[in-house]
Structure 1
Amino acid sequence: MNNFEAVLFDLDGTLVDFQWDLDEAIPEICAILSDAGMDMARYGDPPSYVSLFNLTRDITDQWINRDALEDARKLLAKLDDVYNRYDQDAMKRWQPYPDTRSTLTRLVKEGFRLGVVSNCGREAVHGILARFNLIDFFEIILSRQDMSRLKPHPESLGLALKTLSLSPEKVLFVGDSINDILAADNTGMAACF
């Protein structure tokens, strides 16, 4: 760890246990997208949470380019409500892993700058970190509202690098999923899980 200056963490499944109810959320999101005219059969059965979010951004970008800005805003608002509702539901059950606090404490004592980069919404990320008195460990906290594409897209980790003014080789990303590892790889930083 001598070459790293910062460690970025995913939230759910990494610092706290994963509690998002994907079995209920995905069909609800698919129904909204289907109502908006999307042929959902093209995107897998069932499509993933991340692919649905990124697909939505692709769709709304196309609508904006066709001067359908109001339609894009309405669709994003509907979907944001769904994502936020499921974030809030997961928050009720999230618990930090037993070694979360001690790991963060040790990293700070060793001089590492810390951050969170999560696909969850801002209210949930900040809320759970505050509830368990973890928020002060982090110099940077990025959530779904800070990015237009979710991990594995490199946007969020690129934004973290820019905010920290660090190059990719100076940062380690810790996550729990292939999307986390791919996001780090797509950004040029090391990753572990």
Structure 2
Amino acid sequence: MENFPRSQFKVIIFDCDGVMFDSRQANIVYYNTILNHFGKPLLTNGDIEVVHMATAEEAVNYLFKDDPRLSEAQKFRQQLDYQKLIPLMKMEPFLKEVLSNLKENHFYLAIATNRTNTIHSVLTTFELEKFFDLVISSLDVERPKPYPEIIFKILSYFKVKASEAVYIGDSIIDYETARKAQVFFVSYKNQKLKGDYHISDFRELLPLLQSNLKPRH
């Protein structure tokens, strides 16, 4: 890919699940393993939508609401080896090529995810660690998404203004996080989601960043 003119942006922030990876199947297996262990019904379609956006702790709290075994379920969750599920994750097409080109064009790259410690195993497995200057998970903030703290930490680290950052997400939680932090929001593969801009392919990101973007929210 060719270099392009300098953008108004300095930091590009990625969500993980649903943006960098299709991790739905891995998450389904993960939470069904917990539910099955405690003899509870497996995930419904509605459950899948909820847990896919939540932190692991929030997801188990939701699945075991009013269940006296909640504390046991949280402990069981922490003992599970997510590493075995990583092969079920599918990296989005053209992700590596775009990350490489962004680095060549001197953008700072960061991740803001509601994943916990599993994010580092995922990046290592798919050989993506080298592309990112900063990774912030739900373990690194007091209040995870949709609170904007995770974005504020990234802005502070790079010493940039909100107007110099773009957040790429796929869920209402991502949108709310971006809006509260007042950064540009690019919706990935979700036309129903409000956003400053929408893309369905990572190859659309590079031309978008070099254009004269104006917020739509």
* Structure-2-length-normalised TM-score: 0.62
Within 5 Å, which residues of 2 pair with 1:103-114?
Answer: 103-114=98-109
**Which of residues 17, 25, 31 is equivalent to 2:22?**
17
Within 5 Å, which residues of 2 pair with 1:141-152?
Answer: 141-152=135-146
CA shift in 2, pair 1:127/1:94, >3 Å: same
Q: 1:131 aligned to 2:136?
A: no
More helix by share: 1
CA distance in 2, matches of 1:107, 1:96: 17
Q: 1:95 aligned to 2:90?
A: yes
Q: Which amino acid aligns with 2:113?
A: S
CA distance in 1, matches of 2:153, 2:32: 27
CA RMSD of aligned residues (A): 3.3
Q: Deviations over 1:135-185 (max 9, x none)?
A: 011000111211222211111111111122211111100111111111011
Residue 164 of structure 1 corresponds to 158
Identity of aligned residues (%): 21
Paired residues of 1:21 and 1:86 also in contact (CA < 8 A): no
CA shift in 2, pair 1:24/1:189, >3 Å: same
CA distance in 2, matches of 1:23, 1:95: 14
Within 5 Å, which residues of 2 pair with 1:69-84?
Answer: 79=74, 82=77
Residue 5 of structure 1 corresponds to 10
How far 1:109 moved relative to its partner?
1.2
Unpaired runs of 5+ in structure 1? Answer: 33-44, 57-73
CA shift in 2, pair 1:18/1:106, >3 Å: same
CA shift in 2, pair 1:89/1:183, >3 Å: farther
Larger relative contact order (C-alpha < 8 A, sep ≥ 6)?
A: 1
Q: Which amino acid aligns with 1:148?
A: E
* Structure-1-length-normalised TM-score: 0.69
